[in-house]
């Protein structure tokens, strides 16, 4: 009997579309400015038909010209050691030595602290990030120190990380790089609900005087990453104060504090409380939507008190309300600039484009709430970078099916110079077509949810195609980008379409980027996987509009939160999701990291138990592949192995791939994990064998 195999050309095309290769198919879609002398001029490597060429952009002169001395520009931007943090004036750097911080400059180096130890590590994030396997693979012994320089380059804000009594967890390095017997690796990693987790005790170090000033306040809990890396602590523009945000473990509150860098005194500026999440912005990796203004006398404060994320002015003496700045059924996502002279704030907002509430627009309004206007008054999504001197902004405008055009604008919205226009002809030549942005009703029959539908390559409407739901449901970020760039996960979805699958991606209720009620759908509801029921509802509605979608053959693929959702989907909706690949899945929040659990609100063991894939293993039906890195220091492989124990006890069939030396995202092993994933899905959903002997090229 002859075996039917998928043609190897499908794998070749899919490999081209992966993130590390796709850049060769799209020219001019990304501009990363290298600012010159802190002004508005910048240079960048431009994609041209003849290859990359360094160009200098001068917004004032409205010119884009080849760089006269490219080598000098590259040498000047090469920077120093990534583990050293340079001062604004370039005279000094701060770095770690052992558990302490040191400075170097003007021909000498000296210690800034001397009492650091394993339990009191200066400028350190939690171990999973600070000493991660991924950093080791990149040749770095640890992450950069968590420090931020004062504007005048004389002091640094950092924290002394207190890890006394924090739980230790372990993994086994089966085959160490230097040979020899297996090696036990350990890290400090609290579980949700533990009494002890990492604490950040703020410290101000005077680099030249050598003084150490400790904040006279309780330390800040650090469940996920340094508050400095998350931009939750910062210097005032004039260096007269340090400000930081604090949210207690029990939730329902957010407070702003002022630290006097001369005395160590800390006072509370403002506190807001609420019934659910009180946030400084719905997407914490973007940083807080808070700005100190008026010489330190006022604060622009983000609040969802009316159901939408808006800006309010408060005094910094007693936190007194001074007036509302923005309003409407849309949300502020980022403060771009405050013009103190004109009493005007410029910001990025989502929800003002009727076609898509996730698209971002640049807007302005007076600090008294009058004079609102859209600076970018169109239907496109805008990705913005502000020049260091604040005079202009770099604007990349696109949609999921409109390639980006990058320009420099002034704050009136006028285009000063076009910098780049994306060329996607090579991408289209692979058989790629833009994904379809769709809007359907959630499982409640009322709320609108949005997503993307990727058509399989060589699409024939007379055929029926198996469907893969490419999932990453998490309360801190959206899965679907509103811009042309599909984002980290989107590249994988494009590759799956090249294999012959129809692929969907959905942002269900509970994900961020909309109003408070939409986000609060995930509050204390881990088991819902941020609207997993909405994925099912979307499939039903899409199939009614697109009869070529074979909803009898539906699988799910996801990593981390997506890995959790994959198994949950096969347990809760076994009649819909019959195939799944769960990579690095956080299958039991009770034994994961506190930061992941607290995304859903204050930790509640009862809520976490209801979300346990281990406890739901008996309901899992279908073809399942579990994948995990043996040295995953973000989501422990124990969480997949716990699930395996229960699946075995329930006499369930499944496949398991443990990559002993891999971490959370399989750095160095991506080619192998991708190929094994594709092989499994091709067999399980397409019903054919993968190309014989095909091997993906290792990354890098």
**Structure confidence at residue 241 (pLDDT):** 97
> Rounded to 5 degrees, what are φ and ψ at 406?
-110, 130
Report how far Cα 39 is from the mean position of its chain's Cα atoms. 28
pLDDT band, very low/low/confident/very high, at 585 (cuts 50, 70, 90)? very high
Distance CA 46, CA 31 (A): 8
Mean pLDDT for 354-375 is 97
Neighbours of 325 (CB within 10 A): 21
Please, are residues 688 and 638 in contact by the beta-carbon 8 Å criterion?
no
Distance CA 338, CA 293 (A): 8
> Is pLDDT above 60 for 299?
yes
**How crowded is the C-beta side of 291, counted as CA atoms within 13 Å?**
22
pLDDT band, very low/low/confident/very high, at 249 (cuts 50, 70, 90)? confident
Distance CA 491, CA 480 (A): 11
Q: Provide the CATH number for the domain formed by 426-686 in this structure.
A: 3.40.50.1820
**Structure confidence at residue 663 (pLDDT):** 95
481-493 burial, b if ≥16 CB within 10 A, otherwise e? bbbbbbbebbbbb
Query: What residue segments make up the domains of the chain, in order of their start?
Result: 34-77, 84-163+198-273, 426-686
Cα–Cα distances (Å) from 33 to 18, 45, 384, 407, 695, in that order, read: 24, 9, 11, 12, 36
Please, are residues 269 and 290 in contact by the beta-carbon 8 Å criterion?
no
Distance CA 362, CA 349 (A): 6
Q: Is 685 exposed, middle or buried (0-12, 13-18, 19+ CB in 10 A)?
A: buried
Q: Which residues, listed in sequence order, are joined to residue 213 by a DSSP beta bridge?
A: 204
> Is pLDDT above 80 for 48?
no
Specify the DSSP class assigned to residue 193. T
> Is pLDDT above 70 for 78?
no
Question: What mean pLDDT, rounded, does the chain reach?
Answer: 95
Radius of gyration of the chain (CA): 26
pLDDT band, very low/low/confident/very high, at 49 (cuts 50, 70, 90)? confident
- Render pLDDT for 506-532 as a digit per residue (tens, 0 to 9): 999 999 999 999 999 999 999 999 999
**Structure confidence at residue 322 (pLDDT):** 97
Which CATH superfamily groups domain 84-163+198-273? Answer: Dipeptidylpeptidase IV, N-terminal domain (2.140.10.30)
pLDDT band, very low/low/confident/very high, at 70 (cuts 50, 70, 90)? confident
Helix-strand-coil split of the chain, %, nearest 5? 20, 35, 45
> Is pLDDT above 60 for 128?
yes
- Render pLDDT for 530-547 as a digit per residue (tens, 0 to 9): 999 999 999 999 999 999
Largest CA distance in the chain: 83
Mean pLDDT for 131-143 is 89
> Is pLDDT above 90 for 488?
no
Give the H/E segment covering residue 22: helix 19-22
Please, are residues 131 and 85 in contact by the beta-carbon 8 Å criterion?
no
Distance CA 343, CA 351 (A): 24
> Rounded to 5 degrees, what are φ and ψ at 238?
-95, 5
Which percentage of the chain shows pLDDT scores above 70? 99
Please, are residues 592 and 635 in contact by the beta-carbon 8 Å criterion?
yes
Mean pLDDT for 284-289 is 93
To the nearest 10 degrees (0 to 180), the angle between helices 532-545 and 561-572 is 70
Please, are residues 235 and 148 in contact by the beta-carbon 8 Å criterion?
yes
Distance CA 30, CA 585 (A): 31
Mean pLDDT for 130-153 is 92
**Structure confidence at residue 137 (pLDDT):** 85
Q: What is the DSSP string of 102-141?
A: EEEETTEEEES----BTTEEET---HHHHT-HHHHHTT-S
626 or 248, higher pLDDT: 626
Quick check: do 84-163+198-273 and 426-686 share a fold? no
Neighbour order of strands in the sheet with 448-454: 436-441, 448-454, 502-507, 465-470, 549-559, 579-583, 623-629, 655-659
3-state secondary structure of 539: helix
- Render pLDDT for 345-354 as a digit per residue (tens, 0 to 9): 999 999 999 9
Q: What is the DSSP string of 203-252?
A: EEEETTT--EEE-SSPPEE-SSS-TTTTT-EEE-TTSS-EEEEE--TT-S
Report how far Cα 144 is from the mean position of its chain's Cα atoms. 18
To the nearest 10 degrees (0 to 180), the angle between helices 8-17 and 487-498 is 170
């Amino acid at each position: 009997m002859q075996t039917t195999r998928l043609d190897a050309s499908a794998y070749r095309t899919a490999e081209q579309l992966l993130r590390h290769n796709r850049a060769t198919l799209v020219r001019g879609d990304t501009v990363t400015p290298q600012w010159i002398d802190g002004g508005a001029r910048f240079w960048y490597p431009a994609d041209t038909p003849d290859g990359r060429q360094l160009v200098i952009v001068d917004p004032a002169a409205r010119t884009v010209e080849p760089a006269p001395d490219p080598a000098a520009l590259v040498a000047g931007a090469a920077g120093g050691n990534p583990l050293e943090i340079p001062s604004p004036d370039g005279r000094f750097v701060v770095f770690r030595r052992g558990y302490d911080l040191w400075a170097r400059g003007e021909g000498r180096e000296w210690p800034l602290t001397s009492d650091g130890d394993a339990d009191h590590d200066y400028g350190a994030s939690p171990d999973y990030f600070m000493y991660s396997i991924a950093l080791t693979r990149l040749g770095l012994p640890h992450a950069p120190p968590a420090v931020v320089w004062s504007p005048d380059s004389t002091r640094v804000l950092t924290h002394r990380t207190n890890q006394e009594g924090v739980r230790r967890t372990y993994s086994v390095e089966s085959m160490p790089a230097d040979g020899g017997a297996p090696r036990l690796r350990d890290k400090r990693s609290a579980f949700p609900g533990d009494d002890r987790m990492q604490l950040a005790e703020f410290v101000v170090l005077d680099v030249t005087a050598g003084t150490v000033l400790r904040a006279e306040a309780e330390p800040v809990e650090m469940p996920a990453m340094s508050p400095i890396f998350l931009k939750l602590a910062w210097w005032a523009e004039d260096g007269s104060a340090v400000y930081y945000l604090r949210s207690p473990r029990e939730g329902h509150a957010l407070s702003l504090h002022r630290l006097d860098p001369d005395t160590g005194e800390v006072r509370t500026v403002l506190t807001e409380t609420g019934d659910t999440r009180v946030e400084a912005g719905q997407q914490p990796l973007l940083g807080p939507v808070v700005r100190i203004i008026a010489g330190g006398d006022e604060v622009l404060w983000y609040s969802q008190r009316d159901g939408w994320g808006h800006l309010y002015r408060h005094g910094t003496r007693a936190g007194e309300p001074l007036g509302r700045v923005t309003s409407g059924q849309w949300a502020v996502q980022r403060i771009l600039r405050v013009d103190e002279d004109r009493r005007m704030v410029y910001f990025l907002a989502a929800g003002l484009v009727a076609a898509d509430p996730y698209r971002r627009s640049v807007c302005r309004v007076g600090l008294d709430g009058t004079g609102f206007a859209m600076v970018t008054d169109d239907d496109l999504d805008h990705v913005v970078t502000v020049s260091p001197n604040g005079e202009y902004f770099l604007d990349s405008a696109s949609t999921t099916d409109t390639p980006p055009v990058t320009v420099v604008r002034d704050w009136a919205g006028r285009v000063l110079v076009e910098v780049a226009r994306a060329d996607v002809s090579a991408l289209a030549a692979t058989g790629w077509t833009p994904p379809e942005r769709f809007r359907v009703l959630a499982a409640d029959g009322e709320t609108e949810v949005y997503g993307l539908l990727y058509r399989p390559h060589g699409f024939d409407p007379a055929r029926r195609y198996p469907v893969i739901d490419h999932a990453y449901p998490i309360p801190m970020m959206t899965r679907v980008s509103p811009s042309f760039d599909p984002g980290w996960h989107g590249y994988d979805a494009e590759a799956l379409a090249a294999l012959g699958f129809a692929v969907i991606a959905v942002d269900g209720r509970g994900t961020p980027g909309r109003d408070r009620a939409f986000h609060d759908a995930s509050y204390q509801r881990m088991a819902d996987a941020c609207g997993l029921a909405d994925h099912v509802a979307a499939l039903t509605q899409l199939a009614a509009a697109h009869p070529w979608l074979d909803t009898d053959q539906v699988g799910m693929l996801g990593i981390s939160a997506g890995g959790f959702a994959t198994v949950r989907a096969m347990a809760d909706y076994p009649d819909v999701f019959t195939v799944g690949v769960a990579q690095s899945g956080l299958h039991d929040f009770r034994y994961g990291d506190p930061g992941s659990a607290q995304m859903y609100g204050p930790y509640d063991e009862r809520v976490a138990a209801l979300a346990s894939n281990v406890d739901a293993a008996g309901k899992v039906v279908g073809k399942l592949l579990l994948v995990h890195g043996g040295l995953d220091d973000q989501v422990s492989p124990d969480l997949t192995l716990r699930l395996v124990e229960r699946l075995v006890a329930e006499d369930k069939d499944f496949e398991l791939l443990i990559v002993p030396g891999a971490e959370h995202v399989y750095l160095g092993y991506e080619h192998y994990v991708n190929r094994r994933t594709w092989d499994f899905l091709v067999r399980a959903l397409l019903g054919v064998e993968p190309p014989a002997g095909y091997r993906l090229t290792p990354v890098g």
